[in-house]
Amino acid sequence: MSGPEVAVVTIAHGRREHLAAQHRSLALGSRRPDHYVVVAMDDPSLVPSTDLGLSSTVERIGRADGRLPLAAARNQGVRTAIARGAEVVVLLDVDCLAGEHLVEAYAEVVAADPWVVWSGPVTYLPPPPATGYPYHPAHLAGWDDPHRGRPRPRAGEVVRDLDPDLFWSLSFAVSAPAWDHVGGFCEDYTGYGAEDTDLGRSVVARGLGLSVTGGARAYHQHHPVSRPPVEHLDDILRNGRTFHARWGFWPMTGWLEAMAAMGLVRCTGPDWVRVDMDDVDDMVDMDATYEEESA
């Protein structure tokens, strides 16, 4: 197929079934990626796959101070993709299924406007029926109901000048030159939270645009999460302080305020501090979920 060479990058720790379903959705889409790079975070048993004729490359990265290095893993995946010749890189959360035209739509908009970082609408799917989610990505359209906290353009529509605080890393695409210009994710962030909002801010600060294309639709596979994500409390505080030092305000305040109402944190002037972790010691381990949810 003509057009720019495209890679899809995802990061994973566990999540074998979700990764396999994502692989299938990419293999059966209207345009296959030229490269599929999976970065295994502290997951030595994850192996490359050639399911449905789509080959994956597996990169590996260890923990950073005991935490999953989400930002560094994404950067490593993009470096690998660009080194293999990708002109357009799509970053897709491991829990996301690609809509039938996701790769094709991202390739088209990035080629047309390469100094914009593009994202697409994401639908959070309900728990799957007994028969599972649709096997072919063309049938995911029947489940389409994008997250209402983000722009929801229809296929063929675009939304320009996205608020950088609404940018998230579940699904987005970037040209190789734009990625180099922005510098990728800040690797000071480890564990859960804030690195994608930081990237959105960095894109705008470097003079690039943020836009949403309705053609690049993704579907987030269901899994249990806690709201607020108290199992990530320490990550949220640490990464929040990093973000505050870089940008002058706190991110994830919705989560922080919800946890303050639970008596777990309190605001002390410019800082948020932990009050007591006894109530969260037995919560789900930090590895259970790491998709970027906006508060």
What is the spatial distance between Cα 49 and Cα 54, in angstroms, rounded to a whole number?
Answer: 8
pLDDT of 227 reads 87
Instruction: Provide the residue type at 50 as one letter.
Output: T
Q: In what order do the strands lie in the sheet with 96-98?
A: 96-98, 218-220, 122-124
Closest CA to 58 of 70, 49, 68: 49
Cβ of 227: how many Cβ atoms within 10 Å? 10
Give CATH for domain 6-220: 3.90.550.10
pLDDT of 278 reads 54
The domain segmentation of the chain, as residue ranges, is 6-220, 230-288
pTM reported for the whole predicted model? 0.92
Burial track 32-51 (b if 16+ CB lie within 10 A, e otherwise): bbbbbbbbbbbbeebeebee
**Each residue's pLDDT expressed in tens, for the chain with a length of 295 residues:** 578 999 999 999 999 999 999 999 999 999 999 999 999 999 999 999 999 999 999 999 999 999 999 999 999 999 999 999 999 999 999 999 999 999 999 999 999 999 999 999 999 999 999 999 999 999 999 999 999 999 999 999 999 999 999 999 999 999 999 999 999 999 999 999 999 999 999 999 999 999 999 999 999 999 888 889 999 999 999 999 999 999 999 999 999 999 999 999 999 989 999 996 554 444 444 444 444 443 3
